[in-house]
Structure 1
């Protein structure tokens, strides 16, 4: 009979999965990452066309995550009724807030150095593009360990679309009770419905 894994063992394995995915992603050249982003954007555009959100949240690229700024700017330009938003940490233990983003607007770095709108219109997104470090087919992901998206998705009535590169795909991220699965996963290889 297999021994149950201790909490410390699970935490260590999750940390190792996260670090391996981050290292692999950060090792990509700018050219290689750009090629992956272009392929990913094709699949993401198809999914957004099918789901047809009017209010979309996305993340400013951090640590070699897919850079979706130009993609979102093009998405906004296609329909004046669309809104885009960036996440804002208002309290480390609270769900994220989302503030309207427009291309070229003034942003300020947060405590992690990630640009965000310091003030502005709050937006309740219909769909959130969530960065993936390590992820599995069930739609579970590893972020950076702060739990921000898990807390947010627990209270937000929005579709969660994980966006990342196949190099982060693993058999399991060893999801914990607080983890929230993505509804969809989008990578350079295609669009996948999470298989919970």
Structure 2
């Protein structure tokens, strides 16, 4: 059994690199156009939350920051994830365009001060994903731990490019299933 887990870990590590490379191969114009289509899909398909969390785009992930401006006009508050400690769930701090961001230990722009909130919807970046609703992140397990511990569980919405769709990510017991997947091709609600 241990050998199977090691094989899956090595497979996922290689797959993560491949997924980043697929996104990096998109031109800036393609990336921007696909990101804009994802933003429109989010705004049309999803319920308007009270507080939502999003991730600052890194490694050529979809840039969905335009959702913030559109939902803020409706009175929705935005938050960014904060790594409080290794191997723990994420916390979320309110964010506005005036919020000062600093790179965290992973180089991700993060608010270092401000109020913590619990979002009712999280837009999660999809490094890779499958049609069953499982996402391949970067291997830290932060979002899986967060979704497993937040109560009530926020609506988990994966946002990614179709170029990162996989037949299966080979989900493991700790992997948390998403409620929605949104790509440039549409918004897909996943069954219960």
- Range into which the TM-score falls when normalised by the shorter chain: over 0.9
Q: Which residue in 1 is equivalent to 2:187?
A: 191
Give the alignment partner of residue 130 of structure 1, picking from 110, 124, 128.
124
2: distance between equivalents of 1:74 and 1:111? 30
Q: Which residue in 2 is equivalent to 1:172?
A: 168
- Give 4+ residue runs of structure 1 displaced > 3 Å after superposition: none
Q: What does 1:63-102 correspond to in 2, within 5 Å?
A: 63-76=59-72, 78-80=73-75, 82-102=76-96
2: distance between equivalents of 1:165 and 1:184? 14
2: distance between equivalents of 1:107 and 1:6? 41
Q: Could you tell me the TM-score, scaled by structure 1's length?
A: 0.92
2: distance between equivalents of 1:73 and 1:180? 28
Q: What does 1:104-183 correspond to in 2, within 5 Å?
A: 104-156=98-150, 157-183=153-179
- Give ranges in structure 1 of 5+ residues lacking alignment: none
Give the alignment partner of residue 24 of structure 1, picking from 22, 34, 53.
22
- Give ranges in structure 2 of 5+ residues lacking alignment: none
2: distance between equivalents of 1:63 and 1:195? 30
Residue 104 of structure 1 deviates from its aligned partner by: 2.8
1: distance between equivalents of 2:59 and 2:138? 10
2: distance between equivalents of 1:94 and 1:9? 25
Q: Could you tell me the TM-score, scaled by structure 2's length?
A: 0.94
Q: Which residue in 1 is equivalent to 2:51?
A: 55
2: distance between equivalents of 1:52 and 1:41? 13
Q: Which residue in 2 is equivalent to 1:10?
A: 8
* Contact 2:38–2:64, Cα closer than 8 Å, also in 1: no
* Contact 2:129–2:166, Cα closer than 8 Å, also in 1: yes
